[in-house]
Each structure stands twice: as structure tokens, then as C-alpha cells.
Chains A and B, each alone.
Chain A
Amino acid sequence: MIMSEHHMGDHISQEGTDQQKKSAYTSSVYTIPDWLMASEIYEPQTERDTFVNKSILSVFSLLSKIKAQETNQALWYDINTPVNIAGTFLLLLLVALSKSFVFVLIIGVYLLAVLSTFDAPRLVRILKMSMGTTLFSAVIMLPAFLTGNSYSSIMIPCKVLISITIMGLLSQSAKWNSITGALKKFYIPDIFILILDIAIKYMYMLGELSLCLFQALKLRSVGKNKSKYSSLAGITGTVFLQSKEMAEDMYHAMECRGFSGEYHIIHKQRIRWKDIIFMVVNAGFIVLFFYFRSYQ
């Protein structure tokens, strides 16, 4: 009996809840909550993302430059790197010191001839670099040209063009790691080589890291994100902490493998015929420099 009563009560209570539900259901048919009714048109405010996009692009261009060093096809102009560096500095010095337009012209024609043998991607890279700076210096020299100082206002942009092209030739023909190796030949202290070497290697890894961070920031900010600039501090901070950690790890790893802070050159580049020709050409430039010293 008790059980049945219990059942009964159970039944009644169930019925009661059913009725409650029904009434709630019927009332809710007619009143949909407001928040569901409101038409949801969210148009994120357009933002041009200039700063993030620009940062991503500049990081990308740096990375591609470093990557390009590895994938560049072989070039006939692969002069022995120490010789190449010495020649480059000699030429830069001569061009800077020369007052003779003819000498500058001869160097310019020599560079044109060398450039014409380069492949198109390298050519474009070198010329972009040198043309941009030359244009800039030409604009700066414009007032001097207008006030009648035509000599230096023509000479200086020419020298800028030639100097940047000379540097471009070096950077496009010698790999960065071979340049740091060549510095050893010039008695540069080991600590500088170490720093330069690690800097170049880590520029790539940290560049990739910051690229990831930038892309994450771009994905997460929908519409106008006013606190984006404050994220910049976060990105730089993270990259800095990461770099510190990585540098310590690497230094320990190097020490474990017996690195005592001294650099030794293992692979010696041999002097070949083209290196000798390169040296002769540069010696010729020295002669020409003194020959044309009397001309203006």
C-alpha cells in the first residue's frame, strides 16, 4: 500500500511537473527571448593591419634573404672570400678618395661588365639596393646642383651608386658564413667573429619565431584591436627571453663539445686562377687611380 501511495504521489507530482512544463512551453512559444530575436549582424570594423602586415613583410624579407644565401645557384664570380673582401674594401677606398670622374667612370663600367654576367634575381637585388640609395642621394644633392655646384652633385650620387654596387657584389657572391670565416684572416678578434656568427644564425631562428607571433596576433585580432600596439612589447619581450634561453643553451652545447672561445679555420679556400685575375684587376685599379689623380 505504502508503495502504491508512494507511486500515486509520484504520479501526481509528475503530472504537476508536466503541467508546469506545458505551461512554460506554451508561454515560451509566444515569447522568444530577446537575445535570440535580435538579428546579429556583426561587421568587424575594417582595419588595415598596417603595422602587423609591415612587420610580417619585413621579417619575411629578412628570412628570405638569409634563405636565398643557401639556395643561390653557383656563380662564376665566387672569388676566394678573403681576397674578395680585400678587393671590395680597396675599391671602396679608391672610389671614395678619387677626384677624377674618369676613374669613377672606369670603375662603373667594370662593375657593369661584372653585373651583366650575373643571373637576373641577383642582378635585381643588387640594382634595387644601389638605385634606391642613389636616388636618395641625388635628391639630397639637388639644392647643390641648383646653386651651381654641378661637380659634386654629379660625383656624389655616382660614387654612392658605385659603392653600393661594390658591396652588393660582395654580399651576393660570398656566403655570410664564409665572410665570417674570412674575417679571421684579417686578425679580427675571435669574440667579434663569435658574436657575428651567432647573430646571423639566430637572426633566422628568432625571425621565424617573431613571424609566428605576429601571425598569431593577426589571427586573434578581429576588427579593430586597440591594444595591438601593446602586444608589440609582448612579442619583443618573448623573442628576447627566447633568444637569451637559446643563446645560453647553445653556448653550453658548444662548451660541451670543447669550444674554448677560439676560432680555427678548417676549410681553407684555395687560391685559384680567377682569384689571381681578380687581384691583377684590382692592382690595375690602383695604378689607374694614381694615373688619373691629376685629372679632374
Chain B
Amino acid sequence: MHIPDNYLSPATCAVMGGAMVPVWTRAVRKVKAELSKVKIPMLGVGAAFSFLLMMFNIPLPGGTTGHAVGGTLLAILLGPYGACISITVALFLQALLFGDGGILSFGANCFNMAFVLPFAGYYIYRMIKNSIKSEKGEFIGMAFGSYVGINLAALCTAIEFGIQPLLFKDAAGQALYCPYPLSVSIPAMVLPHLLVAGIAEAVFTIAIILFIKRVSPGSFYEGKKEKNKSIYGLIIMLVCLTPLGILAAGTAWGEWGAEEISGLLSADGMTGFTPVGMQNGFSFNAVIPDYAVSGLPEPAGYVLSAIAGTAILIIFFKILGSLKKEKE
């Protein structure tokens, strides 16, 4: 679901980034007012969860891959605004260090994964939880909220891809950016998420919340028993399991490189054509592109990336928490 650079026109990127500005402003204000100094490092733990979940690629029908985001999970644990900030920072790190998701399309990626997903998921969860007042209702809410949330995010991504050939064409009528229209992009994005990735998201959400509620409810809810060791244990376990994410071969839909898409298009009967905007577009060299370190076997590079990402996110929010002044 990470849109790379040059798939969206710069204009689309600007609009999506502009749409995120008020969301970010409000989220920062809300989190500042509502979250105590001690709980801010938990945003980092949340961001680390999301970062790791996005590394577990799941093979999808059609030869592409997808992944869970954990947006609803974070929204339930940290509130939707906290989740928005956590996922934004995780996405930023992915774009900057690992080349996963573009720099220009950062706003669009945030809109899909850090805004639509956690807010939709959270409010659906709340609605169901309030109407069915039992533990069962809560679980149904979690499952349904996370499932719908990730699918809505996939739908938004598909629409952003799909409107590109409608809006941005050169004189010959050929697409400048993403060449696939809505009729292709929506089924290609949404169907796999409905069938596989959405279920993975729901399973992850319920499993992790169950674990945290049983072991260390105080880590996220104020005034309850706190055992951060087990949360860190869970993170270490996820880090060790990340190489499973490489088992799924193939690139996620809409995340191909310029050569890959040229090959794909010729298979679709559009030989020798690479959209112009992609060919001479903006390119950014990440530190560890695609979580692979040259000279290291792929799983080792993956684990190294996972450790680095997790550690940076936790350190960042720890420092942020220490900077916050305690309210009188």
C-alpha cells in the first residue's frame, strides 16, 4: 500500500499532503493535551509495532503481496490521534531509510494509512462496542473495525492510483504517471485486501490486544498493571520473525520500479511504454533500499532493518517524551 514516487502526479501529492496538515496539527494538539509524559514513549512502541507489521508481506492472489498495518490496533491502544502520529513517523522512517513509499507521495501514504485507516477502524470499533455491550462485542468491534479500516485505506490508495490516467496525459493520450485506470486499480488493490490482508490485519489486531490486555494492561491504559518487559519481548519476537516476510515473493501492487512496470505493461499489451513521469521522475536514494543490505543475505538484512527501525522509533519517542513539560 506504500505508493512509491512518480506513481502520483506532483499535484496529487501536494493535495494529499495539504489534506494531512490539519490532521497532523490537530493530532499533535490532542496528543499533547491528553497523553501524559510517561505515556509518550508508548507512541514509539506503537510505531515500532506498526513498522514491524508492515514488514510481514503476505502473498496475495495475482502474484503480488500485501501487508497488515496495525492502524486500528494502535488506534484502540493509543487513541486515533496517537495512532495517526505513530504511523506517520513509522512511514517517514520507511520512506527515508528504507525507500519503502516515496518522499513526494509521503502525504498520500499518510492519508491512506495514518488517517483513513486508524480513524475509520477506531470509530467502527467504538460503534460496535457501544451497541453490543459484552466482551464479545468488543472483539467483534476490533475484528470488523480493523478489517474495514484496512480495506478503506486500500480503496483510497486505488482511487489515487486510478485517477492518474484520467487527469494526467501527454499529447498522445498516454498516461504520464500510474497508467492503470480505476477499473483496474480498484479490483487489483481492494480484492486482495478483502480476501487476505484484511483478515491478517484483523488477526494481528485481536492477537496483540489480547496479549497486551492479559500481560500488561498498564502499558497503554493509565493506572493498570504495567509490565513493559513482555511488550518488549513481543517486539523482539516480531523482529526475529520478520524474515518470514521475504517468503512472499513478488512486489506489492503499485510498488514496482520503473523497469518492472515496463515489463508488466508489455505483458498487458502496451509494449515499449514506460510512463514519462516515471522514467524521468524524482528519485531518492534510501540508506537501506528495500530493507536489503548489499553483501548480506536477505533475511539478515531484513532483521537488521527491523532492529534499526524499531530502535530508532523507540529512541525518537523516548526523547520526545523527555522534552514534554509535565502539566501542573
**Which residues of A pack against B, CB within 8 Å?**
100, 102, 105-106, 108-109, 112-113, 115-117, 119-121, 123-124, 127, 292, 295
Contacts and interface: CB of A to CB of B under 8 A. Distances in A.
Contacts of B296: 102
Given A102-B293, A102-B294, A112 B308 contact: yes
25 contacts: A102-B296, A105-B293, A105-B304, A109-B307, A109-B311, A112-B308, A112-B311, A112-B312, A112-B315, A113-B310, A113-B311, A116-B310, A116-B312, A116-B315, A116-B318, A119-B318, A120-B41, A120-B321, A123-B315, A123-B318, A123-B319, A124-B322, A127-B315, A127-B319, A295-B295
A258 to B, nearest CB: 46
Contacts of B310: 113, 116
A113 B295 contact: no
Contact of B308 (A109, A119, A123, A292): A109
Interface in B61-86: none
A116 B304 contact: no
Closest 5 interchain pairs by CB?
A120-B322, A112-B311, A116-B311, A116-B314, A295-B295
A115 B314 CA distance: 9
Interface of B: 41, 232, 288, 293-296, 304, 307-308, 310-312, 314-315, 318-319, 321-322
Give chain B's interface secondary structure class: helix
A292 B295 CA distance: 8
Nearest to B44: A116
A106 B314 contact: no
A127 to B, nearest CB: 8
A106 B293 CA distance: 10
Given A105-B293, A113-B310, 16 more contacts: A102-B295, A105-B304, A108-B308, A109-B304, A109-B311, A112-B307, A113-B307, A113-B311, A116-B310, A116-B311, A116-B312, A116-B314, A116-B315, A117-B232, A119-B318, A123-B315
Contacts of A116: 310-312, 314-315, 318
